[in-house]
Amino acid sequence: MLRTVYWYVLGWLFTFFTIPILFLLQLVKLFNQKVYEKKVDEVTSFFCRFLFYISGSKIDIIGAENIPRNKSVLFVSNHESHFDNVIIHGFICKKKAFISIVEVQKIPIIRKWMKEMKCVFLDRKDIRQSYECLESSVNLLKGDYSLIIFPEGKLNEGKEIAEFRKGSLKIAIKAGVEIIPISLINSHKIMSKNGTKICSARAKCVIGKPIPTEGLSKKDEMQLSERVRRTIINNMVV
């Protein structure tokens, strides 16, 4: 209980202290867009590492050499807990944004940082908005931003990885970028599903080899989701 209170108090204090940084970055944005984007990525990545370490947890990163340096990719991960975003953004060094559910925009300050990161917010109840989300994601990938998605669409809490949502990897195909499979292990032990309990744990993040999406046949496109899913499952035993 004390660890949970400690984590939330320190986490929100740090969050409030980032407000002046947000204003400073708006000034930087007026003069140099590239520097602004780099600083947003640096600040948010540091914030994620801070949130991770004050939980008392440790992390093993395996396969970082599999990430292409000079091109955008789609990171596709299993979804054990709400800490998955913290791990991936904090410990994978690449300018990136998330595809997140629209409900996250209800969280003050956090939603502002996510917008500065160019995160895309998906409203599953709105078909038109979902299509706009797809187009925005493709445009980001065609630029110099990578994206992170959790195609299960829900937390699995360390249990069997659920089937990926139909069409969830279309953005990689439309943008012509490689998919980087990510296998997260034990992140569900750090934060409970409802967020009421924080524990220390040793988590593992296994970064798989790139999976190309260009030149796929229709059959290969249909099998892509299951191929990526099986890769993530197989890499969990590394």
Say which CATH number the domain at 208 has.
Answer: 3.40.1130.10
pLDDT at 129: 74
pLDDT at 53: 96
Contact, 67 vs 179, CB < 8 A?
no
Which of 233, 181, 158 is CA-nearest to residue 73? 181
* pLDDT at 69 exceeding the cut of 90: no
pLDDT at 167: 78
SS3 188: helix
* pLDDT at 190 exceeding the cut of 90: yes
- Between residues 195 and 50, which one has the greater pLDDT? 50
DSSP 206: E
Token pair recorded at residue 168: 């969830």
pLDDT at 113: 93
> Structurally, how many domains does the chain consist of?
1
- Between residues 66 and 218, which one has the greater pLDDT? 66
User: pLDDT tens digit string along 118-147?
Assistant: 888 887 777 777 778 888 888 899 888 999
* pLDDT at 63 exceeding the cut of 70: yes
The mean of the pLDDT values for the chain is 90
Query: How far is it, in rounded angstroms, from Cα 224 to Cα 220?
Result: 6
* pLDDT at 237 exceeding the cut of 80: no
Range of the domain at 148: 2-235
Of the given ranges (6-10, 54-58, 132-136, 171-175), which has the lowest mean pLDDT?
Answer: 132-136
pLDDT at 4: 93
- Between residues 129 and 87, which one has the greater pLDDT? 87
